[in-house]
Structure 1
Amino acid sequence: MFSLTSWLPSLPSLDWGSSLLDSLLQGLIGACGVSVLGSFMKIYFFIYCVNDPKRKKEKEYLVSQWAVLEPLHLLGLTAFLAVVGVRVAALVVLEFSLRAVSMLLTLNKGPLVPEFLQLFLLCQYSLGCGLTCSLSFLLEGAPHRTLNLLLSLGLAGLLASGARRLYHHACRLYELHSCEQYCGACLTLLAKWHDLPTLLGCALRVAFLVGDVAAVALINRDFLTTSEAVRFWTPLTICYTLLVIYMQEEQRHHPSTRSQYQTVFVRMGGLFILLLTVGRWLDLMGVFISLFGELWCLASSRVLLDLCQKQDLSQIPSVVAPSQ
């Protein structure tokens, strides 16, 4: 079996280098997971734009812009996830999970309302943090951690590459193939594209469930006594509850893309103030990194968020009429 340091002398610099490599691998795996989600969401919105002639401008943007932005977005997100730190990543995952559960309980309207689709776009950075937390927790103390991460990266890369190829195929040939009634991939999308949010929702539930368990375990490992844990979790719970209530009211009264950016600043500001009292100085740096990571993901999803807010996507017909 291969391990980065198993055949090398035990030196502090080598341990530090191995830790840095592991962090980069975890960040890249998390970014690949976000890329898979983004590719399927872009497929969904592309077909939505194809079925709605009024969205020709948005369709052209989806086709032309993403080829340039995808590699840059992946590299930037990898960097943010690699350096954010486990504690802050865990707090981001828990905060988003609480917000998502509260929103879903409030909506209770099914998987195709605009708010539900917005949740997929807003969870990108939190999903990346959840994946990195899960990897940190599951591989903690593993004798061949680097090898396991490399194998995980291979699988994540295959999934991300396959989803990206499917998206590019749909952009180039979906309209032709759906009209001519050939190509298995395009016919499957033609018949089942409305089911994509439901399938993605199931996958995200599993990912965030594992991420939440890992986040709680990673945070609790730093506490030596129960009283220390209580001093940390009590203000955290109160702060997160107030944040969720505020953000739901803000979104209800001002449902716009600008409010999404304001929400990010409020969330990270609340987390920063909380960690000033119960956190560490390194955690404060992680909050700033998370702020930039959230803004990075929001900026790349701006057009998709606008599409979510313009109208109820469930009212769009699900098929393209074949040419005569």
Structure 2
Amino acid sequence: MFLPFSWILGTSEWTPFDSNPIDCFLQGLVGACGISVLCNLMRVYHFIQTCSDSEIESKQRSSSLTSPLGGNWRAALQFWSVTLLLSLVGSRVSSLIVLEFSLRAVSAWASAGLDADGRGLDLVLIQCQFSLGCCLTCTLVFLHQGAPHCSLSLFLAAALSWALASVCHSLWSHVARLYPLHSTERYCGKCITLLTSGHTILASLQRVVVLAFALATVASTATVYNHFLSQKDALKFWTPLTLCYTMLVVYIQADQHRQASAEGLLHTVVLRLGALLVLMLTVGEWSDVLHVLITFLGEAACLLPSQDLLQAVLTEEEEEETSLNKYKRSSGHKTRECTKRTSSDRS
């Protein structure tokens, strides 16, 4: 079946999977469940934030967040598409994506520390969806190397991930339908818990994502070293490439900070994956090039259905800037009045 591909790629035996297809599918399922948990909890957080505002603003802003309930088939199609794409991406390319996103996250954290608004940190969670899936898959590959019961362990991990993703999806469905009523009536345990501690969801997600990427960075570093840097004089070739790629990531981060929109996110994906494609054409194999092209589809499958989250983040930032400007104007007006009163009292 794969004989034409093996002739084109110059390999004797080639399949789109790195190892056993069942193991690859289970790894992709774990990654897709992690992405689903992240998106559903982010939607719960932003919906709670909208409901804490006034009724008019809440109705205007919550319309985009409630739209996924009307398209469960689209959510299922996205989930299984991401599962398949994560199954096809090899551990070599997944490791490079994890290291590249870790570099971008550090750059976003540094730029947010220098700026007052911290816009980059809110957008990082939206952008990290497919990278988080790659993070989970490459970590599983690293942990299960040489394991005697690899398939059984992956099945248990996939079952646990499926259960957790189902709980988070049911929570989002319950919140989107009933939270505005239950938060006022105060007779639902879930909604009362979210009313009191729902504002901590985003901070908890950030800590969990940081922990996941910290573990995956270790696994990715070992994978990249074994596959790319273990050869003689490899560091002499990779050092200038790494420096150039770092400069590109910093430039992309600064450009995205200026234009945070759906077009800006897609433009960032095209730039960084295009640079990774050129890198794989230089030092990788033809299978790596194919996996990078699959990554394009995976990023699109994650970012395009997340426009409601992006709109919620941008709207929240605009409201914070508006309230800050109003506060500055009112404080300036009060300062001028106090100055006038003081001068009149002296006269």
TM-score by length of 2: 0.81
Determine if contact 1:50/1:175 at 8 Å carries over to the other structure.
Answer: yes
Q: What is aligned with 2:128?
A: 123
Gaps of 5+ in 1: 1-11, 318-324
Determine if contact 2:18/2:90 at 8 Å carries over to the other structure.
Answer: no
Structure 1 residues 159-191: Cα deviation after superposition (integer angstroms, max 9, x where no partner): 101111111111121111110112221111111
1:270 to 269, 275, 299: 275
State the structure with bigger RCO (CA 8 A, min sep 6), 1 or 2.
1
Q: Do the aligned partners of residues 176 and 55 (structure 1) sit closer, same or farther apart at CA in structure 2, a change above 3 Å counting?
A: closer
Q: What is aligned with 1:181?
A: 186
Is 1:63 the counterpart of 2:66? The answer is yes
Determine if contact 1:239/1:270 at 8 Å carries over to the other structure.
Answer: no
Is 1:168 the counterpart of 2:168? The answer is no
Determine if contact 2:18/2:91 at 8 Å carries over to the other structure.
Answer: no
**How far 1:56 sits from its partner (Å)?**
2.3
Determine if contact 2:129/2:302 at 8 Å carries over to the other structure.
Answer: yes
Determine if contact 2:112/2:119 at 8 Å carries over to the other structure.
Answer: no
Q: What is aligned with 2:25?
A: 24
Q: What is aligned with 1:156?
A: 161
- The letter of the residue matching 1:25 is L
- The letter of the residue matching 2:68 is Q
Distance in 2 separating the partners of 1:279 and 1:54? 51
Instruction: Kindly name which structure, 1 or 2, has the bigger radius of gyration based on alpha carbons.
Output: 2
Structure 1 residues 288-316: Cα deviation after superposition (integer angstroms, max 9, x where no partner): 11111111111011121122123328959
Distance in 1 separating the partners of 2:219 and 2:41? 26
Q: What is aligned with 1:140?
A: 145
Q: Secondary structure in 2 aligned to 1:222? A: helix
Structure 1 residues 62-115: Cα deviation after superposition (integer angstroms, max 9, x where no partner): 323243332111101101100011111111111000000111122128999443
Q: What is aligned with 1:321?
A: none
Q: What is aligned with 1:43?
A: 44
Q: Do the aligned partners of residues 287 and 308 (structure 1) sit closer, same or farther apart at CA in structure 2, a change above 3 Å counting?
A: same
Determine if contact 1:89/1:130 at 8 Å carries over to the other structure.
Answer: yes
- 5 Å-filtered alignment, 1:164-313, equals 164-223=169-228, 225=230, 227-231=232-236, 233-312=238-317
Q: Do the aligned partners of residues 81 and 183 (structure 1) sit closer, same or farther apart at CA in structure 2, a change above 3 Å counting?
A: same
Q: Do the aligned partners of residues 31 and 209 (structure 1) sit closer, same or farther apart at CA in structure 2, a change above 3 Å counting?
A: same
**How far 1:45 sits from its partner (Å)?**
1.5
Bigger drift between 234-243 and 301-310 goes to 234-243
Distance in 2 separating the partners of 1:201 and 1:176? 29
Distance in 2 separating the partners of 1:167 and 1:212? 30
Q: What is aligned with 1:320?
A: none
Q: What is aligned with 1:92?
A: 97
Gaps of 5+ in 2: 1-12, 324-347
Structure 1 residues 186-239: Cα deviation after superposition (integer angstroms, max 9, x where no partner): 111111222111100110111001111111111222258453541454144223
Q: Do the aligned partners of residues 313 and 187 (structure 1) sit closer, same or farther apart at CA in structure 2, a change above 3 Å counting?
A: farther
TM-score by length of 1: 0.86
Bigger drift between 266-275 and 114-123 goes to 114-123
Q: Secondary structure in 1 aligned to 2:66? A: helix
Distance in 2 separating the partners of 1:112 and 1:195? 19
Q: Do the aligned partners of residues 111 and 133 (structure 1) sit closer, same or farther apart at CA in structure 2, a change above 3 Å counting?
A: farther
Q: Do the aligned partners of residues 113 and 47 (structure 1) sit closer, same or farther apart at CA in structure 2, a change above 3 Å counting?
A: farther
Bigger drift between 53-62 and 298-307 goes to 53-62
Distance in 1 separating the partners of 2:117 and 2:37? 20
- The letter of the residue matching 1:242 is M
Determine if contact 1:114/1:311 at 8 Å carries over to the other structure.
Answer: no
Structure 1 residues 260-280: Cα deviation after superposition (integer angstroms, max 9, x where no partner): 110100001101111111111
Structure 1 vs Structure 2 CA RMSD: 2.6
Structure 1 residues 35-57: Cα deviation after superposition (integer angstroms, max 9, x where no partner): 11111001011122323432525
Determine if contact 2:109/2:120 at 8 Å carries over to the other structure.
Answer: no
Structure 1 residues 232-261: Cα deviation after superposition (integer angstroms, max 9, x where no partner): 541442233122221122113322221111
